[in-house]
Structure 1
């Protein structure tokens, strides 16, 4: 009887999973696989219950698409219309996302999602920085003293990136997401955006990396934005291109850990997921096995 009571007590104390919604449906990246592997990463942690809402391809159905964001503690944005600017969310869905985040919701901008929706000014405010033309906002750069400099609109270039490489992520700002991380850690096959641009308001840059394949300058990699009462996490990490299958960028233990910890912070304001013992270091890359994930 005592054993049964202890077991029931443990079950009673087990927290409910955090409800997450991934929004996908169009991108110049492999959005279907990106959604599948992200859902798996989050659910494998035991902390999340993930659902997916796919924006319909049919224009009439898309206009009627009306997800209820308020049912979730976190929205993961995985749509990108950079190659087709006329492909957008319906206006009512845009307004609902703004209200959701403004009222305290969490929003994860997943890699190429920060390329999206240049027409949507409140989206620019939510993401802080994104893939934008030189005229479209401030760019942030990190100097040798690890201080952030603002580059005015029309100074420098529009956003871009060089070849992918195993970037050395440098923690710039202590934060619950990166608490316990090495000051520097190796990613795998990563894009480092140069001249990321936007309003850059209410923003904290968490990490940066030296762009060794193009500009030979240091640029933000991860940042968080306060939008109303809500929290937004945005990053250039997480590239998954068409024709790839669970690539090293996604197998990176540092990346997977960051996805989980960022999601938990966005949803709750706290981070309880531990930094694993085999987290990458400044000199050692750490990847999960190629067969650790299989497309459903």
Structure 2
């Protein structure tokens, strides 16, 4: 799920990401990929195992009802970067995804991120991850009540650890969120790809190593 590009070159390039990652995921074994702009069609909510959102977030009662029904039947959701914007109903969005952004209240920073992971949680998404360096954008002062046990990875901003990766569960439904994803180059980083592909697989209740063969294809790692 993508939306109109809303930043400069190589930033928030939702359409380019959608094209590249639809091709990447479709190369996986026994994977059917559908794409859409703005919002999934009704029939996609009925048949999809997992959905990935990379766009500017938006939220209202209709979207809440469709997402709630999707989670109730055991669907998986992944939200990347600015997809956590909760414009329309930030608290309502946060109840579904753990933390959501109020664009008038959050803080953000572009640049190097030194990530530390929650090794105590022993979550399959972050298995064998302890530290990771990225150059991307962090958000903090988000709205919501996310238990510490659901936080998967942090970066320090204003002398405090701020969650940048997390997961939540609603009954049979699962949600994975990654705040990194501002720059297109982040999606070429093999270790970020491992986290994202594991997250998508986890939300779909597949083994987290389901997409290991997709970590490198198409990635610009020469830089």
Taking structure 2 as the reference length, the TM-score comes to 0.79
Q: What's the counterpart of residue 270 of structure 1?
A: 207
Tell me if the contact between 1:251 and 1:289 (Cα under 8 Å) persists in the aligned partners. no
Q: Distance in 2 between matches of 1:191 and 1:113?
A: 13
Q: Quote the residue 1:230 is aligned against.
A: 173
CA distance in structure 1 between the aligned counterparts of 2:49 and 2:161, rounded to whole angstroms: 33
Equivalent pair of 1:79/1:116 in contact (CA under 8 Å) = no
The structure-2 alpha-carbon separation of the partners of 1:92 and 1:233, relative to structure 1 and needing over 3 Å to count, comes to: same
Root-mean-square deviation (CA), in Å?
Answer: 3.2
2:97 equivalent in structure 1: 127
* Deviations 1:76-131, CA, capped at 9 Å, x for gaps: 123325xxxxxx57854441221111221101012110013442654221111121
Indicate yes or no: 2:115 matched with 1:193.
no
Cα 1:116/1:79, change in 2 over 3 Å: farther
Partner of 2:153, secondary structure, is strand
Query: Closer, same or farther in 2 for the Cα pair 1:126/1:27, shift >3 Å?
Result: farther
User: For residues 124-273 of structure 1, what are the structure 2 equivalents within 5 Å?
Assistant: 124-132=94-102, 158-165=105-112, 167-172=113-118, 173-181=121-129, 183-187=130-134, 189-200=135-146, 204-211=150-157, 215-240=158-183, 247-273=184-210
State the shift of 1:232 in Å: 0.3
Residues 47-103 of structure 1 deviation map (CA, whole Å, 9 limit, x = unaligned): 6332102238xxxxx9xx53431211101123325xxxxxx5785444122111122
Q: Aligned partners of 1:47 and 1:163: how far apart in 2? A: 37
Partner SS state of residue 250, structure 1: helix
Q: What stretches of structure 1 of length at least 5 have no aligned partner?
A: 1-22, 57-61, 82-87, 135-157, 241-246, 280-285, 291-296
RCO comparison, higher one (Cα < 8 Å, 6+): 2
Partners of 1:232 and 1:271 in 2: CA distance: 14
- TM-score, normalised relative to structure 1: 0.62
More helix by share: 2
Partner residue in 1 for 2:9: none
Quote the offset at 1:217 in angstroms: 2.8
Residue 51 (structure 2) pairs with residue 75 (structure 1)? yes
Alpha-carbon distance between aligned partners in 2 of 1:24 and 1:179, rounded to the nearest angstrom: 28
Cα separation, partners in 2 of 1:45 and 1:190, compared to 1, 3 Å: farther
1:197 Cα deviation after fit: 2.3
Distance between the aligned counterparts of 2:38 and 2:67, measured in 1?
14
Q: How many aligned residue pairs are there?
A: 213
Provide, for residues 220-274 of structure 1, a one-character-per-residue CA deviation record: whole Å limited to 9, x for no partner. 110001123210001201113xxxxxx3212111111111111111101532248
Kept in 2: contact 1:202–1:226 (CA 8 A): no
Question: CA, structure 1 residues 114+216, in 2 after alignment: closer, same or farther (shift >3 Å)?
Answer: same
Contact kept in structure 1, 2:55 and 2:83, CA below 8 Å:
yes
